[in-house]
Amino acid sequence: MDSEILKKISQDTCGLKLDLKSRKIGDDGAKALAPALRANTTLTCLDLSDNRIRDAGLDDLFKALLQNTALESLYLHTNEIRNIVEYTAGQTNRTLTQLDLSYNSIGETGTTALITWLGKTSLQILDLSGNGIKDAGATALATMLQTNTTLTCLKLKGDQIGDAGATALAGALRANKTLITLMLNNNNKIGDTGVIALAGALRINTTLQKLDLMYTNIEDAGATALATMLRINTTLQKLDLSKNFIGDAGATALAGMLRANKTLQKLDLSKNFIGDDGATVLEGALHKNTTLQELELEFDVSKRPEIMIRIKVRLNYNILLKKWKEIINDKRPYQVQERQQKIIDTLHNDAIELLKEARDLYEIFTKREIRLINRCIQPIIVPRQVSNYLNDNLPSYLDGSGGIKPRALVFKKTKKSVQKSKRNKRSISTKKVLKSHKSRKSLKSRKSLKSRKSLKSRKSIENRKRRV
């Protein structure tokens, strides 16, 4: 281990982040690094990846962290760690929030020892990918998650977890209130049984926002269970189902979900077995969905090449709608909104690009959606600049059945619209006639009242004269 680096660490002159990966420091280097870490009060991120560190070296580092109150992130992936040696000290580090132990050899036994240590920390992000923890390790982690209140991200990629481990984690999700991200990708032993258990847990869970199930042998039954769950779940925003065995039946179930779901923003269905029928159903569902912004899909484009274009346009419309809502809902004064001005500028450009993409797809937008696009194009703060740009650069797109022109929206008149306008004219004319009729009636009544009053007054005068 370089003495100059150790000196900088101990004297707090190494900065906030220190990258020592791939230096082959081994256990001896870790042992030499431990005293420097005890003395350091400024280092927040230390990367010791790919350094051939084993259990003894890790034990020295962990003991040094007992006295360190600054380090927040520690990266130890791609080393030779097998067991987390549990030290007897009752105290522990409370500042470490991120620990990366991926691609070591921790296994089931090491995971159990690690959980004992985790109970004494405030970790928020834990990466155990590629450690072969299997179902036993996943079950031990699930037990810990039921009572843990700090962990927000758990990565278990390629850990040979099967249905039993996934079911145990599903049970933990029913009780856990802090986990936001769960990555179970590349665990190809899970299958539909484990996925159905996870879907059942997510009906109750209200915190998980990202779930990665790539290459977990999901078929149509698993996809259908997830689709049913997403009709109820209101927190999950990103779902990765790529590299599975989902067919048109699963795609149809997910399409039905998209019509009802209002929170999912990203859905990855790439490298499945979805055909053009499933893709068509998914594209149709996007006409009812206004929140999905990314949809990864692969199928035989040669049969229906326009489907991918339609999907892209619909997703771009959803992105445009989200930006529009951000501007409308922001209550701050526009004079101090430099960031908002940038959003507005991009909003205009996005709306124009959206129209260019959809110029041959006349029926892709409804009248209401085109009206919103036009409002995005119309200026909010700088009307002259934008209107001049539109007049110079925007040709007549969607002319005909949607009718976009440079200055404003123009809709093609149909028989129904003509009949409706005629009915409106008739109703207006009848209202005018009734109004005039009422006015004539009131005029007649006023005149008759006046005449009656005048007649009475004349009669009373004549009677007085006669008495005299």
Residue-level pLDDT, tens digit, the chain, 468 residues: 677 888 888 877 777 899 999 999 999 999 999 999 888 888 999 999 999 999 889 888 888 887 888 899 999 999 999 887 554 344 467 788 999 999 999 998 888 888 887 877 889 999 999 999 999 999 999 999 999 999 999 999 999 999 999 999 999 999 999 999 999 999 999 999 999 999 999 999 999 999 999 999 999 999 999 999 999 999 999 999 999 999 999 999 999 999 999 999 999 999 999 998 999 999 999 989 999 999 999 877 667 777 887 888 888 888 888 877 776 666 555 444 455 566 666 766 777 777 666 655 545 667 777 777 666 665 443 334 434 444 444 433 333 333 333 333 333 334 444 455 555 555 555 555 555 555 665 666 666 666 766 777 777 777 776 775
- pLDDT number for residue 435: 56
- pLDDT number for residue 413: 38
- pLDDT number for residue 257: 97
- pLDDT number for residue 403: 34
Interatomic CA distance for residues 419 and 433, integer angstroms:
21
Q: Are 229 and 202 in contact (CB under 8 A)?
A: yes
Computed from CA positions of residues 385, 387, 392, 394, in that sequence, does the dihedral angle turn out positive or negative? Answer: positive
| CB burial string 97-119: b at 16+ within 10 A, e below | bbbbbbbbebbbebbbbbbebbe
Q: Which residues pair with 153 in a beta bridge?
A: 125, 181
pTM: 0.76
- pLDDT number for residue 408: 33
